[in-house]
Structure 1
Amino acid sequence: MTAEPSWTGVFSHREIERTYAMLTVLEEEADAGPDRHFGLWHGADDPASVEEATGRLTERVLSRLGAARGSRVLDVGCGNGRPAVRLAQTSGASVVGIDTDDRALRAAAAYAQQLGLGHAVRFQHADALRPPFEDASFDAALAFESTPHFDVAELYGVLARVLRPGGRLVVETPYVRGRTTRELLDRIGPYLSLLNAVSLDPPHVHLAAARQAGLHITELSDLTESVRGSSSRLLARLEKAGTRLTDTLGAEQAGRLLAAFSGWAEAPEVGAILMTFTRTEH
């Protein structure tokens, strides 16, 4: 039997820094907004802007954490820290965001300080697969479109370890619907490389990994129809900002960016899921 082709990659610290620089260009030059994840739209005719739609998804994901004043939450792959800061701002929880991108972490810390939340949100450089935290030290954990950067079996094991019994894990992630074919990887591979992604595991892989780690699924929502159009809307902004992107990135890099987003935006096989898990009591 021939195995399905898979996407794998190992990326250096410098490559991650370059990716963050690219995402900053998207925010500044293409009006992509600060929330670098899918947006949530209520149908094809929803007039919401990218900023509004990504804000909606942020709120939906954070609401699943059940965070409250006095609780401690870990944000894995926190990036520029917007969801972590939003969580601290709205719930009163203490939030720790970890990432390996120092540039993103500096931006996250500056944003928290700007809003007067530096006391409530802490950002630090850490490998999510080797986090410097004691067992059962968090009430909840969040992986907001960060699982594609990891082997999920290893990641779920680590997150279960740092969660207290009864603690929640919330995961929102893109995934490949159906078979992963070579033709599909040819189309979306450039985008995965751009974002330093390792895999796009389907739901059953997440569920099996979580179950093995001692995590019980309490909610699974397929968001595919609601987030559909996120990439095409961003692609339209990128194309509109083509001259500015070329001036900022150079013709070769700008062309690579547009081609990568085009392949991703035109791939109906890519979906999104939102899952909530609870660590078992024993």
Structure 2
Amino acid sequence: MALMGETVRPDRHHDRRTRPHDDASILEATERMTDFVVARLGVGRGSRVLDVGCGNGRPAVRLARTLGARVVAIDIDGEALRDGAEHAAAQGMAEMVRFRRADALDLPFADASFDAVLAFDVTPHLDVAALYRSVARVLRPGGRLVVETPYPRVPMTEEIRERIGPCPAAPSAVSSAVSGALSLDAPEDHLSAARRAGMTATELVDITESVRDSFSRLTRGPGERGARPEAGCGASGTARPPATFAAWADAAEVGGVVMTFTRMDRMEQ
């Protein structure tokens, strides 16, 4: 599907289906999910937002265009950053969205320099305790962090891990911001890590039913133009996230959640 002469690469995040047998395109449904998530940031014109693990930049650009906020979008994937910058320019949003290569656990920004932070389907790549400490430092008191992520709905057994677990990531493919393998953290782990970092949870929305099979549609969806992500592991053993996420999306043991945190004035000792 093309927009303004551009071949659209779908966002690699959950799409949102609002009813059974919803036949919305992947592009429409992922934008619907983007809108659902970014609305919780509580930002508007003049706000400064950090998008952690921005990928191809579609959510960052949509956030800036629909809410008027200025966005700094970071990732460690240079190709994704170039793609995002090209997309922002094509949409006339290059002045509103700035793309930068940066480590999520060692953010190169001043304390309290952002009004809100977005972490959209990125926490499975990261140590959540370290991420929340890093984010809390750059988030102003009263500012919000919004996290959208898959999570385990049941205790993870060895059988479940073997069935849906990811391939190990090759050392050369990761930085200090990315864990050695993709992993699922329970909401309780996020809440605890956020509290220790000086943030309090203000909303938790379970989106499991509306995102069921999202990544399966992304990896197998008919009618979408562009290269389809391959399944499984590469020759180097590097995990291909779309294939891993497809396994998670197909598993009844895995759900989806959107969590909103607010930065408190003081960090817990």
Tell me if TM exceeds 0.5: yes
Matched letter for residue 124 of structure 2: P
Instruction: Report the Cα offset of residue 153 of structure 1.
Output: 0.6
Q: Which residue of 1 aligns with 2:3?
A: none
Aligned to 2:99: 123
Task: Give the TM-score normalised by the residue count of structure 2.
Answer: 0.82
2:122 aligned to which of 146, 170, 179: 146
Displacement of 1:234: 3.3
In 2, distance between residues paired with 1:214 and 1:262?
33
- Give the one of 140, 144, 159 matched to 1:168: 144
Give the aligned partner of residue 110 of structure 1: 86
Paired with 1:265 and 1:166, the residues of 2 have a C-alpha distance of 33
SS in 2 for 1:64: helix
Rounded Cα–Cα distance in structure 1 between residues aligned with 2:197 and 2:245: 34
| TM-score, with structure 1 as normaliser | 0.78
Residue 263 of structure 1: CA displacement? 3.6
Secondary structure, in 3 states, of the residue corresponding to 1:268?
coil
Q: Which has the higher helix share?
A: 1
For 1:184, what is the secondary structure of its paired residue? helix
**2:197 aligned with 1:209:** no
Q: Could you say what the CA RMSD is over the residues aligned between the two structures, in angstroms?
A: 3.0
Whether 2:158 is the aligned partner of 1:182: answer: yes
SS of residue in 2 equivalent to 1:90: helix
Match of residue 132, structure 2, among 151, 156, 165: 156
- The partner residue of 2:45 within 63, 69, 76 is 69
Tell me if structure 2 keeps the 8 A contact 1:32–1:234: no
Give the letter for the 2:96 counterpart. A
Map Cα deviations across residues 25-62 of structure 1 (whole Å, 9 max, x no partner). xxxxxx99522111111233222222221111000001
Deviation at 1:182, TM superposition (A): 1.2
- Which blocks of at least 5 consecutive residues in structure 2 are unaligned? 1-6, 174-179
* Residues 1:73 and 1:252: Cα distance change in structure 2 (over 3 Å): closer
Shift of 1:250: 11
2-structure distance, mates of 1:183, 1:94: 45
Structure 1 residue 233: deviation in Å?
2.7
Q: 2:218 aligns with which of 234, 254, 260?
A: 234
- 1:78, 1:268 → 2: CA distance? 27
Q: Name the CA distance, whole Å, in 2 between partners of 1:105 and 1:172.
A: 20
Structure 1 unaligned residues grouped into runs of 5+: 1-30
- What's the CA shift string for 1:71-92, capped at 9, x where partnerless? 1000000011011111111111
Moved more, 186-195 or 144-153: 186-195
Quick one: structure 1 residues 274 and 164, their matched pair in 2 at CA, closer, same or farther if it must change by over 3 Å? Answer: same
Kept in 1: contact 2:212–2:250 (CA 8 A): no
1:275 to 2:253 alignment: no
Is this contact kept in 1: 2:231–2:243, CA < 8 A? no
Q: Deviations over 1:116-173 (max 9, x none)?
A: 1111110000000001001000000000000111110110011011000101100000
Is the CA contact (8 Å cut-off) linking 2:219 and 2:230 kept in structure 1? no
Contact 1:168 1:278 in 2 (8 A): yes
> How many residues of Structure 1 are paired with residues of Structure 2 in the alignment?
246
